[in-house]
Amino acid sequence: MSMDLDASVPLPAVRETTMATILCYNCGAAIDGTMAAGALCSDCLKLTVDITEGIERDSVLFMCRDCDRWLSPPASWVVAPPESRELLALCLRRLRGLNKSRIIDASFIWTEPHSRRVKLKITVQQEAFQGTILQQTFDVEFVQQYKQCPDCQKSYTHNTWRAVVQVRQKVPHKRTFLYLEQLILKQGVHKETINIKEVASGIDFYFSARNHAEKFVDFLQSVAPIRMKRAQELISMDVHTSTKSYKFTFSCELVPICKDDLVALPIKLAKQIGNISPLTLCYRVGTAVNLLDPNTMQTADLSTPIYWRTPFAPLADVQDLVEFIVMDIEPIGPQKGRFLFAEATVARASDLGVNDQTYLVRTHLGAILHPGDSVKGYHLSGTQFNNDNFEALQESKQSGTIPDVVLVKKVYPARRKNKNRNWKLKRMGREESEMKPRKQDADREAIDYEQFLQDLEADPELRDGLKMYKNEDALQPAATSEMETDGEEDEGLTIPMEQLIDEMEDMGMEDEE
Across the chain, which has 513 residues, the per-10-residue mean pLDDT values are: 59 60 75 66 75 85 89 88 90 86 89 89 82 83 91 72 91 87 88 85 89 93 92 86 88 92 92 90 90 90 91 90 92 85 91 85 90 91 88 87 90 60 79 65 82 81 79 59 46 66 56 39
Alpha-carbon distance values, 339 to 302, 331, 347, 375, 493 (Å): 20, 11, 22, 15, 17
Q: Which residues contact 54 (CB under 8 A, 6 or more apart)?
A: 97, 100
CA-based radius of gyration for the chain: 38
* Peptide bond before residue 150 is cis, with ω within 30 degrees of 0: no
Residue 329 CB neighbour total at 10 angstroms: 21
Cα 479 versus chain centre, distance: 29
Report which residue type is found at 474: A
With 0-12 CB in 10 A as exposed, 13-18 as middle and 19+ as buried, what is 89?
Answer: middle
Cα 8 versus chain centre, distance: 99
Per-residue confidence (pLDDT) for residue 286, from 0 to 100: 86
How far apart (Å, rounded) are the C-alpha atoms in residues 197 and 496? 34
How far apart (Å, rounded) are the C-alpha atoms in residues 513 and 510? 9
State the DSSP H helix or E strand holding residue 448, giving kind and residue range, or none if neither. helix 439-458
Phi-psi region of 297 (alpha: psi -120 to 50; beta: other; left: phi over 0): left
- Which residue, among 469, 345, 493, 313, has the nearest Cα to 414 in the 3D structure? 493
Q: Which residues contact 201 (CB under 8 A, 6 or more apart)?
A: 168, 169, 170
Per-residue confidence (pLDDT) for residue 489, from 0 to 100: 46
DSSP state of 512: P
Q: Read off φ and ψ for residue 393, nearest 5 degrees.
A: -65, -40
